[in-house]
Amino acid sequence: MSIINDGKISLTTASPTVTGTDTLFLTRLIKSGYLLYPEGYPDPLHVLSDAASETSLTLLEDWNGPTETLINYEIVKDFYDYEIPVLSPDQTDTAYKINTAHQRIINALNSLGASPTKKQITTKIFIGEPVLNQEWGFFKFTPDCVISKIRLYTDNYAPDGALVADLAVDGTYQGINVTVPANNLWSADNTLTTSVDAGEFTKLKWTTVPAMPGNNWFAEITWYVITPLITRYDCLAFFMGDLEVGRVIGNGYKYPVASKLFGLHYEFTQNPPLGTDAIIEVYKNGAAIGTPVTFTLPAGQLWGYVACAQTSFLTTDIQTFIITQIGSDMPGSGLIITPHTYQYTP
């Protein structure tokens, strides 16, 4: 692509006329629709009509900058959609043009409904009927993030009065009051901007419970990261009843993107293991991994986060968790696990 930049141009505030000095607008066959970049200005001006002389052009819009006299310029005749110029090595102000091109792309994506944040959903579950002031849904976020929405829902029966839950961040309740109206199966819409720092725990608590509250409630927590590491919590698995050695949790899961497992959040909704720790092991494609990847769930702990050696899973790999040890006095019951992973390029 050749750049047209013979001579100098002058621009007058509130005027559509470009006046050239030693320019060759006619010789260079400047056409309607070409883009003109005055030096130092990243946004292009639009040529309204084909050049009728060597030293004058008419713009589509009035010049809204200050009056400029004998400044350099470039005219671009090759460009992509959204007025993104095809750049060449001899162009000037390329950084400006690239930044402007990026912004035009972002604007185009936003106009199509794309989000500038990578929102994700983490699901927690409350088994049984809600109990006033009972805490549940414990979770540890590993990146810095913002919670933008919480949705409660059930597929069983609706409460006969308002059912309300609040969210705590690092032990402090936020007064969010996520409300399921009477005779509804899901909560009203809400928009949140609740910040959670890396390593902080969140939890939910029932703050208003009617006589017939429904049962087996899910909480969908929508959030996005504000750090470069894109952490994912795609998988939720649970084991109803008492743990048993050799039993499977979350059989047959495949990650939607290539992912590395680096930790796991757990919650016992009924009883924690007592006497000895509970242990679960990660299997890949139905087999134990060479160096076993295990998670130890400490005796007496209802919930927590456990790290592990980073373990890669392709989209074709199947992830399974196997119970290899239970509590000696009490096995532990009602276990919910959420693996912590991040996307990587194999």
Determine the Cα–Cα distance for residues 106 and 50; give it in Å rounded to an integer.
31
Residue 44 DSSP one-character state = P
pLDDT profile of the chain (346 residues), mean per 10 = 84 95 94 86 84 92 92 84 64 63 68 64 90 92 87 92 96 94 91 89 95 94 75 80 93 87 90 96 92 94 90 93 96 93 82
- The model's pLDDT over 71-123, given as tens digits with 9 standing for 90+, comes to 999 888 877 666 666 666 666 666 666 666 666 676 766 666 555 567 788 88
Determine the Cα–Cα distance for residues 258 and 83; give it in Å rounded to an integer.
35
Task: Give the pLDDT confidence score for residue 117 in this predicted structure.
Answer: 62
The structure tokens listed for 339 are 């693996």
Q: Give which of 210, 253, 230, 217 is closest to 137, Cα–Cα.
A: 217
The structure tokens listed for 6 are 């013979």
Task: Give the pLDDT confidence score for residue 88 in this predicted structure.
Answer: 63
Amino acid letter, residue 155: D
Task: Give the pLDDT confidence score for residue 221 in this predicted structure.
Answer: 93
Residue 189 DSSP one-character state = P
Residue with structure tokens 């009203």? Answer: 188
Residue with structure tokens 């087999």? Answer: 287
Q: What is the pTM of this model?
A: 0.58
Domains of the chain from N-terminus onward:
8-111 (no CATH), 119-229 (2.60.120.230), 232-343 (2.60.120.260)
Task: Give the pLDDT confidence score for residue 10 in this predicted structure.
Answer: 96
The three-class DSSP label of residue 95 is helix
Judged on CB neighbours under 10 Å (0-12, 13-18, 19+), 335 is: buried
The answer to whether 144 and 197 have CB atoms below 8 angstroms apart is yes
The structure tokens listed for 88 are 């060449």
Q: Give which of 149, 337, 322, 131 is closest to 234, Cα–Cα.
A: 337
Determine the Cα–Cα distance for residues 53 and 25; give it in Å rounded to an integer.
6
Q: Give which of 131, 133, 185, 341 is closest to 257, Cα–Cα.
A: 341
Task: Give the pLDDT confidence score for residue 87 in this predicted structure.
Answer: 66
